[in-house]
């Protein structure tokens, strides 16, 4: 059984994961998560994507996105990663996070035109062409903060759409739950 496409979008949603180099736990305060949220909302609007679910972790991001037929996931991710890299670097410099900055600078060595590398070059994506697979992936990302010991129940992690899906409040970014 495939997904019903309620928005007249062609194609299917994607499950996307992108990771910080060296799995460094860079996002450790509200200021860093706010940068990620701001960029996700901007890219969601720019590329006309439905944000079905998400979870922002200290060293990686999970998304379930359903792009408009004219939008490319690669363009979305390029812009998201570029903006967040610049803003996170500025925040790390302001906070004097020299150890993290050194890790991220070392990872840029040999990368043409880069002196700072926050994200791994690639991101993983999976086309979600079955409703059951999408539900499995949404449950997986919502449980991620519990598996990592950040909270005891998924809805306690503010930077996840679990709160919206469990109807216990709103999360950091509005999501499109009708699919």
Residue 93 pLDDT more than 60? Answer: yes
Would you state the pLDDT for residue 27? 97
Domains of the chain are 14-165 (3.30.70.1290)
CA distance 74 to 71: 9
Q: What is the pLDDT of residues 102-158, one digit of tens each?
A: 999 998 887 777 889 999 999 999 999 999 999 999 999 999 999 999 999 999 999
Would you state the pLDDT for residue 115? 87
DSSP assignment of the chain equals -----TT--SS--EEEEEEBGGG-----SHHHHHHHHHHHHHHHHHTTEEEEEEEE-SSEEEEEEEE-TT--HHHHHHHHHHHHHHHHHHHHHHTT-HHHHHHHHHTTTTSTT-S---B-S--EEEE--SHHHHHHHHHHHHHHHHHTTS-SSGGG-TTBTHHHHTTS---SS------
Q: What is the pLDDT of residues 10-64, one digit of tens each?
A: 579 999 999 999 999 999 999 999 999 999 999 999 999 999 999 999 999 999 9
């Amino acid at each position: 059984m495939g997904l019903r496409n309620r928005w007249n979008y062609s194609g299917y949603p994607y499950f996307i994961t992108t990771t910080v180099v060296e799995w460094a736990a860079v996002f450790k305060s509200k200021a860093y998560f706010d940068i990620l949220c701001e960029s996700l909302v901007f890219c969601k609007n720019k590329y006309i994507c439905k944000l079905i679910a998400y979870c922002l972790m200290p060293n990686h991001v999970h998304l379930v996105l359903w792009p408009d037929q004219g939008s490319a996931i690669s363009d979305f991710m390029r812009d998201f990663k570029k903006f967040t890299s610049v803003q996170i670097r500025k925040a790390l410099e302001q906070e004097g996070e020299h150890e993290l900055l050194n890790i991220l600078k070392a990872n840029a060595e040999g990368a043409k035109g880069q002196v700072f590398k926050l994200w791994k070059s690639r991101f993983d994506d999976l086309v979600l062409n079955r409703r059951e697979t999408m539900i499995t992936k949404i449950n997986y990302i919502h449980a991620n903060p519990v598996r990592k010991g950040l909270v005891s129940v998924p809805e306690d992690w503010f930077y996840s759409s679990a709160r919206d899906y469990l109807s216990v409040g709103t999360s950091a970014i509005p999501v499109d739950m009708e699919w």
